[in-house]
Chains A and B, each alone.
Chain A
Amino acid sequence: MDNGRACVSVIDDDALVLRSLDRLLQSRGFEVHTYSSPQAFLEQHDADTPGCILMDLSMPGLSGLELQQALARAADRRPVVFISGRSSVEASVRAMKAGAVDFLTKPFDEADLVAAVQAALEKDRASREGFAERASINFRLATLTPRERDVLSRVVAGKLNKQIAAELGTAEKTVKVHRARMMRKMQFDSLAELVRAWTVTQPPPPAPPQA
């Protein structure tokens, strides 16, 4: 199983349940960290470690939903899988609206648990990779001169060099020079790559609806 350093943070106030989940996930090859309360998790966890959270919805003190909100405030988009001893429709709807990956009712099937945890880890990986790619493209964008940016925005809009020259009030030859320099700085060989990178960085992807 290729999870890299990704780790499943299991939070449950019930020591027996916590230990059993720890063992089960470890036996299935996951890296597991256990916390006995949401507070303990908030205090101890490393936001940079990739992974997901598996937690009981109802715990004394900070509840599962409240932890979910606290993570959202901290811009930690770590995916959450909820488990609950009682299947309250209301609670599960709220959890899913707030971006929970899955909602399992105790006692759950092992296959469902593993599938939910894998989906959550995959979501985390994807969002972290996307974040890294955006960061690198933004970094390269920052090296462009204003004139090169003007050219870029028109190139990705599908305009021809002649049209760009007319719009910028310059010679087509000059546009060609700017365009070549821009492509070199952005480290792209093809127009297609440039367009894809541009769309990734452009308007921030629409956020999932918040509860």
Chain B
Amino acid sequence: MDSHPASSAGASPGLTHPGWRFGPATTWAAPALLVAVGYYFAARVGFAFTLQPYPISTLWPPNALLLAALLLAPTRAWWWLLASVLPAHLLVELQSGVPVAMVLGWYASNCSEALIGAGLARAFVAWPLRLDSLRSAGIFLFCGALVGPVVSSFLDAALVSLVGFGERGYWDLVATRIFSNTLAALTVAPLILTLASIEIPRLRAARTARYAEAAALFVGLAVTCLMVFNLPQFDNHTEPALFYAPLPFLVWGALRFGPAGTASAIAVLVVATIFGTVNGLGPFAGSTPQETVREMQLFLTAVAVPMLLLAVVLDERARVELDAREQRLQLTHLSRVAMLGELSGGIAHELNQPLTAILSNAQAALHLIGNKSAHPDILMEILRDIIAADQRAGEVIRRLRTLFKRGETQFQPLDANELVHEVLGIVHGDLVTRSVEVVSELAAALPKIHGDRVELEQVMLNLVVNACEAMGGGVAPEQRRLTVRTRAVEDGAVQISFSDCGPGFTPEQYARLFEPFYTTKPRGLGLGLSISRAIIRTHHGRLWGSSVPGKGASFHIVLPALAAPGR
């Protein structure tokens, strides 16, 4: 049964191909044909979902399919699409023995529904419409699922009355058509719109676990729907509660699989419910068949609208958070690279030392061999020194490469003392050229901390560089001293402190110290401390400063021990 909606949905990926432009008719042949085929099968589904023995259609999907196709296609292509469904419309309707005038009238009302919805939506949202924000979802619901069906239903009922087909009253026709077409618009159009915006590479990159989860969701939903809506009901008292049984699956879909997952889940629910109801099964039992269908349609509409909106809102929020996260990562990386730029002089020194040793050793060896005064022991010593110097240069480059890399935050167990050693190794050249003496007071056997190595090193580098710069001008070279302390504090947390003997800061300065773009340095960006604090915050730690003005400043980091931060 649900192979029909699937085949009509299959038309969509071709429609959203980025290279899809209005051009020669051949460009349009394939998408138009797909829409036409989809329309045909959608109409067959619509007929299949007609309540027997009374000819009341519960769901009329062709119009919704056409609506989705128009929303995905550029405006210039609309006439092609509308023209292409005419043969499909004639084929499917004439099979059912409806008068030709009525068939053409329905073609006009069906097209008008899709055109009204898509045209109105396009006035608000640029092509193509995607269900990726609350605004576009709201516009879709209002234009496509409300205005389109309502307005076209008046036209449709008028045409029916005009042709004189059937015996039902005008308002009855209007109401029936509004409900079935709105439900179709809510079911079919979001499915096509969301499936069309799925990126195939991302789908391929998804892990098996994710596919397993999706399978569990849809199997669970299908089984639940079958049990609730496709079994004869005996006990009327349990009915209201039963309606809620599929909800957990819909919420699951909204939370984990976004609008596409939710639209698919809604489609499963709708198909299963209607299938049960048209076969006289399930909890919907009005006093007349019309009432039964109306109840069911109201129920499905009431479920579909909030679920779709919920999925879109969650998706939008997740995307905004991802953007913010990406920007934070970029900013963090930029400030790290800028800091390494400031350290380049010291880093050059660190690389020049081993390079000098290698060159001088090699030249000495050449002379010794040239003089025939080379004793193998001396040559061995020289070669050993060359190897050691080379390894040292390699180590400098390894540290740099880690810091230059722009990567995702990766939490792992870390040793605070090792981080301190690593950072002091990176700035060693700078400390020497600035004549800063380092005093390390590192507590033994610290608990491990949980964090991102590169980001924490960045924070420490920032604090060390700040300390060095604070001692640059006013402090005599022999008094420049940087004290690094690590210690375990309460709750198994680890504190790392950097103290300088520069001018320190006043409480007024401290109040602004962590603000972005606040700096006391002539060439600083003023981002270091604000980014450092943001990093420490994502590590669930604290970063603060203390100072005795004129005597020096201290900055302290406290990181919880191995407390996995929520991510």
Contact = CB atoms under 8 A, between A and B. Distances in A.
B533 interface: no
Chain B interface extent, by class? 20 to 34
Given A16-B389, A17-B356, A85-B352, A23 B361 contact: yes
A48 B508 CA distance: 59
- Ordered nearest first, which 5 A-B pairs have the shortest CB separation? A85-B349, A20-B360, A27-B367, A23-B364, A85-B352
A155 interface: no
A131 interface: no
16 contacts: A16-B357, A17-B357, A19-B385, A20-B385, A23-B364, A23-B368, A23-B382, A24-B360, A24-B367, A58-B435, A63-B435, A63-B477, A85-B353, A88-B345, A106-B353, A107-B355
A27 B368 contact: yes
Could you say which of A16, A21, A108, A110 has the most chain B C-beta atoms within 10 Å of its C-beta? A16
Contacts of A108: 356
Chain A interface extent, by class? 20 to 34
Interface string A39-60: 0000000000000000000111
A153 interface: no
Interface in B297-334: none
Interface in A58-96: 58-61, 63, 66, 83, 85-86, 88
B387 to A, nearest CB: 11
Given A16-B353, A16-B354, A110-B363, A86 B433 contact: yes
B360 A85 contact: no
A24 to B, nearest CB: 4
B437 A16 contact: no
Nearest to B360: A20
B175 interface: no
A46 to B, nearest CB: 25
Interface string B340-356: 00000110111011111
A44 B423 CA distance: 35
A86 B356 contact: no
Given A16-B354, A27-B367, A107-B356, A60 B432 contact: yes
Interface string A115-133: 0000000000000000000
A58 B361 contact: no
A21 B360 contact: yes
Contact of A86 (B348, B358, B361): B348
Given A19-B385, A20-B356, A20-B385, A85 B364 contact: no
B536 to A, nearest CB: 30
A14 B350 CA distance: 10
A63 B476 CA distance: 12
Interface string A3-17: 000000000011011
Interface of A: 13-14, 16-17, 19-21, 23-24, 26-28, 58-61, 63, 66, 83, 85-86, 88, 106-108, 110
A107 B429 contact: no
Contacts of B358: 20, 107
Interface string B381-397: 01001001100100000
Contacts of A24: 360-361, 363-364, 367
A98 to B, nearest CB: 16
B432 A59 contact: yes
Interface of B: 345-346, 348-350, 352-361, 363-365, 367-368, 371, 373, 378, 382, 385, 388-389, 392, 429, 432-433, 435, 437, 477
A106 B355 CA distance: 8
Nearest to B349: A85
Contacts of B371: 27
Contacts of A59: 432
Contacts of A14: 353, 357
Given A27-B368, A85-B349, A106-B352, A20 B433 contact: no
A9 to B, nearest CB: 16
A85 B357 contact: no
A23 B357 CA distance: 10
A28 B367 contact: yes
Contact of B349 (A16, A27, A86): A86
Contacts of B353: 14, 16-17, 85, 106
A41 B354 CA distance: 23
Nearest to A60: B432
A27 B357 CA distance: 15
A185 B429 CA distance: 61
Contact of B435 (A13, A60, A106): A60
A86 to B, nearest CB: 5
Contacts of A23: 360-361, 364-365, 368, 378, 382
